[in-house]
Amino acid sequence: MRFTTFFIYHGILKLFLTLVSFVLMSGIESYFIYNFIRQIKCYGLVFLIGYITLGNAQLDPRKTALTALAELKANPNYSPKDTVQIDLLNKLAEELRYYNSDSLLLLANQALQHSKAAGYKRGESMSLLRIGDYYSDQGDKQQAIVHFQKALELAQHLPNPNLSLRIQNNLASEYVYSGDYAMALNGYLKGIELAEAKGNKTMQSIMNENIANLYASQKDYPQALEFYRKVKKLNEKLENPIHSAKTMANIASLYAEMGSTEYAMFNVNSCITTFEKHQILDWLAYAYEVKGKIYVNQEKYSWALQWYNQSAMLHKKIYDDRGKIDLLNGMAMAYLGLKKDSIAEQHAKEALEIATRISFLEGIQKSSKALYLTSKNKEDYASALHYHEHFQKVSDTLSKRENSKSLSMLQTKIDYEKQRAGLIQENDKALAKQQDYINVGLAILLVFIAITLIIHRNEKIQKKLNKELSHKKEDLEKREAELYEINETKDKLFSIIGHDLRGPIGALQGLLKLFKDGEISKEEFLQFIPKLGDDVNHISFTLNNLLSWGQSQMKGAITRPSVIALENLFLENINLLSDIASSKSIAIINKLPENMLAWSDGNQMDIVIRNLLSNALKFTPNKGTITIGAEEKSGNWEVFVQDTGVGIDKALQEQLFSRNANTSTYGTNKEKGTGLGLALCKEMIEKNAGAIWVVSVPKIGSCFYFTVPKGEEKYRKTA
C-alpha cells in the first residue's frame, strides 16, 4: 500500500519543472535562462524555461545540483535573498526526490540558508519539509519527524493554511513508517478537520486515503474500504484524473490482498492508462508492481514477471526504496513459483538489505520468508532455519505491535471523537450564553430605537414634506423645459411655414391669378410650367421633411423596423430626383452591392436617403459627380453618399447635425433649403440603431456616411 504524498503533480507542470532542473544542472544557456527568471518573478518562469529547452534531448538527470548552484552563483545578478530563487531551489529539490536524493538534500539546505538570511518564513518551512522528505526516504525516521515538526511550527504562523496541511500529512505518514499508528491517525484526523474548515477538498481526499491505507496495512479491509468510499466521492468533485488514478492504484493493491482479483485488475488497468499518459513514473512503477502482485495471487508467474520487470526498469530512473522492497519481494515470489530459486534468492537478499538499511519491518518479514523458502528448496537447511527464525522473530514483533496498534488506533479515534464532541458541546453552551447576552442587548436596543423614533418622528415628517416639495419643483422645472422646447419647435415650424412655404405657394397663386384674369396668355403660362414643377417639388419635399421633423420633436414618431432592401430605396429616390440631376448634368454612380438587406424602418430610411441625395444634388455644381456605395462592417452596413460639390468648412461641420442650429444655405443654383434635413437624418438614423457623420473638404466635396443594422439571417431567408 502506497501512502499519498502532499503534492498532486499535474502532468504538464511536472514535465516543465523537471526540464528546468535538467537545464540548470547541465549548464545549458544558464546565464540567459537565469536573467529570464529574474525578470519574470513568478512561477510562470517554469513554463518559459521548459519551452526553451523542449528540443534538447541530451539532458543528464544524474548530475548533482552542485553544477546548477555554481552556475546560479556565477551570475552577476545573483542574490541569495531573492525569494523567487529560493522557491525555485525548493521546487527543484522536490522534483529530484525520486531521481537524485543527494541533490535534493543539497538544494533544500541551500534554500534553508537563504530563507533564514532573507527572513523568508515560507521558504524556510518549505526547505525543512524537503529535508524531512530526504530523511524519510533514507529511513532516518527520527530526523524526518524533527524536520517535519519544525516546518509545521513555522507554517502554522503563515496566512495560507495549505502548506500546514501538506506538512501535517507528511508528518502523520512518517509516524506510520515509525510504527506509531496512534499518532499517525490523530495527525490525519486533525488535518482533515482543518482541511474541511478551509474547504480544501484535495487535502481532505489525500488524508482520508492515507487513513484508508493505514487500516489496509492492519488488514482491516472493511474499515479501509469505508474510507476509500469517502475518497472517491471527494475525487468526483475534484475532477483530477491523476489524483483519481493514485487512489485507484491503492484500491487495486487492497483488492489484491483481499483476493478480489477482478476488482483489483479493473482498478490497476484504469490507473496505468492515466500514469502512462502523464508520465508519472513513481506511481507508474507502483501500479506495475501491483499488477504483478495480482498475477502472483493468480499463480500466473510469467505474467507477473513481465509487469515486475516493467516496474524494475522504471525504478532505475527513480529513487524509491520502500517501493523497491515490495517490488523485489514480489519478484522473488514469482521466481519461486517458476522454480527458479537462485534468482528468487538474489532478489530477496537485495530486498532484505534495503529493508534492513531503512528499518522497514514489513519488508524484512517478507524478505526473510522468501529466503527461507529458497534455502529450503535448495536443501540449505542451516540457512533456511536462520531465515525462518528471523522471519518468526519479526512476525512476533509485528504481531504484538499490530495488537497494540489496533487498540491504539481505535482508542485514538474514540478519544478524538469524544474530544471533538466535547468541544462542540462547550461551544454550544458558549453560544447559548452569548445568545442570552444578545437578547438582552436587543431588548435595550429596541427601547432606544423606540425613543429615537418618537424623537425624530416630526423630523422625518418634515423631511418627507421637503422631499415631496423638491419632487414637485423638479417636475415643474422639467415641464417648464419641455414647454420651452415645444415653444421653440412651434416657432421654428411657423418660421419655416412663413418663409419657405409661403413664398413658393404665393408665387404659384399669383401666377394662376394672372392666367385666370387673362393678363398672360396660355403660351406664356406654359413657359412657367418647369419652374412651377420645381416649386411644387420643393414644397412637397419641404413639407414632408417638416411633418416628419415636427412629429419626431413632438415625440410622436414610432420606429417600426423590418427587413428592407436599401438598394431599392436608393434606386427609387434616384429616379425621383433624376430630373434635377439631368438639369445640372450631374452623373450619379451606383456602387451599391446586391441583396443589401437591412433591419430598419423603411419610411424613415427613405427620408434619410432622399435628404442626402437632395443635398448632394443641391451643392454639386453642373457636370459634377455623385457616388453612392456601401460596405459590410461586423453586423452593419456602412453606406456613403459622396459628391464633388462645394464642401463644408470645419466650423459648420461641428453644428451640421445639431437640432437647434440654423444651417440652411443656398445651393449652387440658388436652391433654397429649410435647414431641417440633416438634423432629421440624424434622428432617424439613431432611432434605427445607427450613426451618421460627414467627411468634407471645402471646394473638393463632401462624403456623408451612415450605418444601419444588417437584416438577421432568419429574416433574410424569409425576405
Residue 540 pLDDT:
66
Rg (CA), the chain: 46
Res 510: pLDDT: 73
Give the 3-state secondary structure of residue 692: strand
Grid cell, residue 627, equals 457616388
> What angle (nearest 5°) sits at the alpha carbon of residue 635, between those of residues 632 and 637?
40
Among 448-452, 523-527, 668-672, the range of highest mean pLDDT: 448-452
Confidence check: pLDDT of 717 > 50: no
Specify the pLDDT at position 52.
31
Query: For residues 707 and 461, which has the higher predicted lDDT (pLDDT)?
Result: 707
What's the CA gap between 593 and 587, in Å, rounded?
Answer: 19
Report whether pLDDT(530) > 80: no
In whole angstroms, give the CA distance from residue 367 to residue 374: 11
Give Cα separations from 333 to 309, 371, 386, 634 (angstroms): 13, 10, 19, 73
pLDDT at position 305: 94
- The set of cell numbers assigned to 565 is 432592401
pLDDT at 13 over 60: no
User: pLDDT band for position 719 (50/70/90)?
Assistant: very low
pLDDT mean over 190-216: 89
Q: Are 272 and 287 a contacting pair, CB within 8 Å? A: yes
693 pLDDT band (50/70/90 cuts)? very high
Closest by Cα among 311, 308, 310, 304 to 285: 311
Q: Tell me how far apart the alpha carbons of residues 395 and 403 are, in angstroms, rounded to a whole number.
A: 12
Which amino acid, residue 261? T
So what's the pLDDT on residue 69? Answer: 58
CB 249 within 8 A of CB 271: yes
> What is d(CA 187, CA 124) in angstroms, rounded to the nearest whole number?
22
Residue 715: how many other CB atoms lie within 10 Å = 14
Cα–Cα distance between 86 and 90 in angstroms, integer?
6
More confident residue, 359 or 266: 266
The whole-angstrom separation of Cα 625 and Cα 634 is 29
pLDDT, tens digit, for every residue of 170-191?
A: 999 888 887 787 888 888 988 9
Q: Which residues contact 500 (CB under 8 A, 6 or more apart)?
A: 542, 672, 674
- Predicted pLDDT at 46: 38
3-state secondary structure of 415: helix
Residue 485 has pLDDT above 70, yes or no: no
Q: Degrees (nearest 5) of the Cα angle 545, 551, 555?
A: 140
Q: Kindly report the CA angle at 36 between 33 and 40, in degrees rounded to 5?
A: 145
pLDDT of residue 275: 92
pLDDT at 6: 37
Q: What is the 3-state secondary structure (H, E, C) of 518-541?
A: CCCCHHHHHHCHHHHHHHHHHHHH
Residues in CB range of 400: below 8 A, 6 or more apart: none
The whole-number pLDDT of residue 15 equals 46
Counting Cα atoms < 13 Å in the Cβ hemisphere of 695 gives 6
Dihedral sign, CA of 383, 389, 392, 397? negative
Q: Give the C-alpha separation, 700 to 645, whole Å.
A: 6
d(CA 49, CA 53): 6
Q: Which of 50-64, 474-488, 667-681, 702-716 has the lowest mean pLDDT?
A: 50-64
Please report which helix (H) or strand (E) contains residue 484, including its range. helix 457-496
Indicate the residue type of 275.
Answer: F
Q: Which residue is it, cell 482520508?
A: 208
72 vs 391, higher pLDDT: 391
CA distance 359 to 567: 91
For the segment 514-528, what is each residue's pLDDT rounded down to a tens digit?
777 777 877 777 777
Per the CB < 8 A criterion, the answer to whether 47 and 18 are in contact is no
Which one, of 134, 131, 213, 201, lies nearest residue 172 by Cα?
Answer: 213
What is the pLDDT, as a whole number, of residue 402?
57
Of residues 405 and 571, the one with the higher pLDDT is 571
Runs of H (alpha helix) within 279-380? 281-297, 301-315, 321-337, 341-357, 361-377
Pairing of strands 636-643, 597-600: unpaired
- Least Cα distance to 549 among 593, 504, 514, 497 occurs for 497
Least confident residue range of 128-142, 261-275, 473-487: 473-487
Q: Measure Cα distances from 116 to 82, 89, 443, 475, 542 in Å.
A: 12, 14, 55, 71, 88
Mean pLDDT of 613-636: 91
Instruction: Determine how β-strand 597-600 pairs with β-strand 587-591.
Output: unpaired
Separation of alpha carbons 353 and 358, rounded Å: 9
Residue 360 has pLDDT above 50, yes or no: yes
| Cα–Cα distance measured from residue 77 to residue 110, given in angstroms and rounded to the nearest whole number | 18
Per the listing, cell 415625440 goes with 555
Where does the pLDDT of residue 710 fall: very low under 50, low under 70, confident under 90, or very high at 90 and above?
very high
- Are 633 and 593 a contacting pair, CB within 8 Å? no
Do residues 235 and 273 touch, judged by C-beta distance below 8 A?
A: no
State the cell numbers at 12: 504538464
Amino acid 716: pLDDT? 44
Nearest to 228 by CA among 262, 197, 264, 196: 264
Q: With CA atoms as reference, report the closest residue to 249 among 311, 298, 296.
A: 311
Provide the pLDDT for residue 3: 61
pTM above 0.85, yes or no: no
Give 26's pLDDT tier (boundaries 50, 70, 90): very low
Mean pLDDT of the chain: 79
β-strand 701-709 against 692-697: which pairing, if any? antiparallel
The mean-pLDDT minimum among 251-265, 450-464, 471-485, 567-581 falls in 471-485
Statement: residue 45 has pLDDT above 60 = no
pLDDT of the residue at 488:
62
Residue 443 corresponds to which cell in the numbers above?
A: 431588548
Residue 97 and residue 319 in contact, taking contact as beta carbons nearer than 8 Å: yes
Q: From CA 216, how far away is CA 225, in angstroms rounded?
A: 8
Q: pLDDT of 89-137, one tens digit each?
A: 888 888 888 777 888 898 899 899 999 999 999 999 999 999 999 998 8
DSSP letters for 330-349: HHHHHHHHTT-HHHHHHHHH
Q: What are 132-171's pLDDT values in tens digits?
A: 999 988 888 899 999 999 999 999 999 888 899 999 999 9
Q: Which residues pair with 598 in a beta bridge?
A: 564, 710
* Cell numbers that stand for 510 in this block: 399669383
Q: Which helix (H) or strand (E) holds 278?
A: helix 261-278
**What pLDDT is attached to residue 597?**
92
The whole-angstrom separation of Cα 375 and Cα 390 is 13
Beta bridge partners of residue 703, listed in sequence order = 642, 695
pLDDT tens-digit map of 403-449:
556 556 656 666 666 676 677 777 777 778 888 888 888 888 888 88
Alpha-carbon distance 297 to 260, whole Å?
10
308-324 as b/e: b if 16+ CB within 10 A? bebbbebbeebbbbbbb
Q: Is 293 exposed, middle or buried (0-12, 13-18, 19+ CB in 10 A)?
A: buried
Report the C-alpha gap between 333 and 699 in whole angstroms.
103
Q: What percent of the chain stands above pLDDT 70? A: 75
**Which tops the pLDDT comparison, 455 or 14?**
455
Question: Within a 10 A sphere around the Cβ of 625, how many other Cβ atoms?
Answer: 15
